[in-house]
Amino acid sequence: MTEPVELRADVSTQTKVTDQLAEMPWWFLFIFLTAIYLVYSFYFNQTYQEIFAFLKDGFIVTIRVTLIAYSIAVTIGLLTGLARVSKNPILYNVASVYVQIMRGVPILVTILYVAFVITPMAVEQVNKMGVWLAELGLLGPDNVLALLGSRTAGLSVSFEARAITALAISYGAFSAEIFRAGIESIGRGQMEAARSLGMSYLQSMRYIILPQAVRRVLPPLGNDFIAMLKESSLVSALGVKDITQLGKLYASSSFEYLKTFNIVAFMYLFMTVLLSLGVKFMEKRLRMDG
């Protein structure tokens, strides 16, 4: 016997409703309700208001560090990704060494290494060059940056700049692998077709391969940006006054650890959830346009 049409329609409707309920972002609803409760608590609690006012400057520093560092990281990643797909053995091997080292070293270690090893060494070399140019008469003695061999020569570079440099170097390696995968996902036939039309290798990359590859790597790059936003909290190890550092300072002086880190966690969560929704929206738009 066949089922009645009405029964099949009811089962189909129930299945659709069940599927829709299963696909609903319940996690977001939970976070949204938690956020409402926290905002309510922040608004009516004097201590929360004082903590939030204290952390506002840290929010600006966190955003600034993340934006500058990621802009540099994407530039490094694009150039390194191009080198990773290059047939030039020197470019390929140099890029591969950089990627493997940076992916194998913890970001906190990279931050400390750049801040206390590479930066003082670089400044010392600049100082030596300044002294050398001054001896040749090409640079006035008043323009020499610091005394040759001074142990404090590196102090002329702010710790925020050192942290940005370290984050950019670290995430440049991750971005390089994203770009490499995006470029290699484009069929070889397109490069061959572009070369057959008389385009050079660089022209083929610029006008044919990269525009398609960039569309494919935008969502992974967005996820990388979210990861860097969270990893930017590590700059507090250098005393950079981001959200985490200011939270530690306030909690240690007031002993309000619970309320302070409630706000610190909420601020990071708010930014990451908002960016995650933006990345998902971008993925849907790219699928629709594709």
* Closest by CA position to 63, among listed 252, 257, 232: 232
**CA–CA distance, 106 with 110 (Å, rounded to integer):** 6
0.85 exceeded by the pTM? no
Give residue 191's pLDDT. Answer: 83
Cβ atoms of 110 and 143 closer than 8 Å: no
* Bigger pLDDT: 38 vs 226: 226
**CA–CA distance, 64 with 237 (Å, rounded to integer):** 17
Structure tokens at 11: 């089962």
Using H for helix, E for strand and C for coil, what is the string for 164-221?
A: HHHHHHHHHHHHHHHHHHHHHCCCHHHHHHHHHCCCCHHHHHHHHHHHHHHHHHHHHH
pLDDT at position 9 over 70: no
Question: Which tens digit of pLDDT belongs to each residue from 63-86?
Answer: 999 999 999 999 999 999 999 998
Structure tokens at 212: 């398609």
> pLDDT grade, residue 143 (50/70/90)?
low
Q: What is the DSSP string of 39-67?
A: HHHHHH-HHHHHHHHHHHHHHHHHHHHHH
Give residue 146's pLDDT. Answer: 46
**CA–CA distance, 225 with 183 (Å, rounded to integer):** 20
**How large a percentage of the chain has pLDDT more than 90?**
48
Enter the DSSP assignment of 138: S
Question: Which tens digit of pLDDT belongs to each residue from 81-104?
Answer: 999 998 899 999 999 999 999 999
Options 3.30.1860.10, 1.10.3720.10, 3.40.50.720, 1.10.150.120; CATH of 57-289: 1.10.3720.10
